[in-house]
Amino acid sequence: MREDCSFEQGTCGWKNDPSSRLKWLRRQGDTPQGKGHYMLLGKGKKNFEAGLLFKTSIMDKCLSFSYKIEGAKGSAIEVYVDGRHFEDLKATKDGKWHKATFTINKVNKKIVVYGVRGKKKDSIAIDDIMLSDNCGPSPPATGQPTPPPPNTPSVPGTSPPGETRNVASNDSVHLETLENDEN
């Protein structure tokens, strides 16, 4: 089972946390696939955050999304699963979209993606959210082995691209830089 959202047709069941001081706003512009829609953290004061909620009842999931965080060291995206802090993605200085992939076990209620603004002018955006049953690649149509991803440059403030690491019991994170960014 897959649940995809490129935000082209709306927010696909992702909703703003009503208790957040800031809101995620659907905007149009440069995305990892060229031009399209994405979610941008709304304007507001520094050190404010906004949660984007998704409720699910599936036990094990692969969560992946594209993100761009530009600005101060304090800006980040925080991922929570069933109220448990799962991962932080820090601000980058390259102005490019990046991709994070998380293997999350035992999701019972909800996934929350928080945008945390370090300074008032910082920019935080997410796009192409996908929930699927596993993070493994689909078998290639040719029957040939899937080649490994190309080496990508390191992203300051995150794990090295292409690295998968354990976060909590049987959970993992995979981070990479998207090469087709036009910015």
pLDDT in tens, 114-173: 888 888 788 899 999 988 877 766 444 444 443 444 443 333 333 444 444 333 333 434
User: How far out from the chain centre does Cα 108 lie?
Assistant: 19
50 vs 2, higher pLDDT: 50
Residue the block writes with tokens 């080496």: 151
Per-residue tokens: 61: 């999931």
Distance CA 178, CA 98 (A): 5
Distance spanning both ends of the chain, measured CA to CA? 33
- Return the CATH number of 4-132, one of 3.90.1150.170, 1.10.3300.10, 2.60.120.200, 3.40.50.620: 2.60.120.200
CB neighbour burial string for 26-46, b if at least 16 within 10 angstroms, e if fewer = eeeebbbeeebbbbbbbeeee
Per-residue tokens: 138: 């689909």
pLDDT in tens, 6-52: 999 999 888 888 888 788 999 999 888 888 999 998 877 666 777 87
Domain boundaries, the chain: 4-132
Does 60 have pLDDT greater than 80?
no
Distance CA 24, CA 33 (A): 20
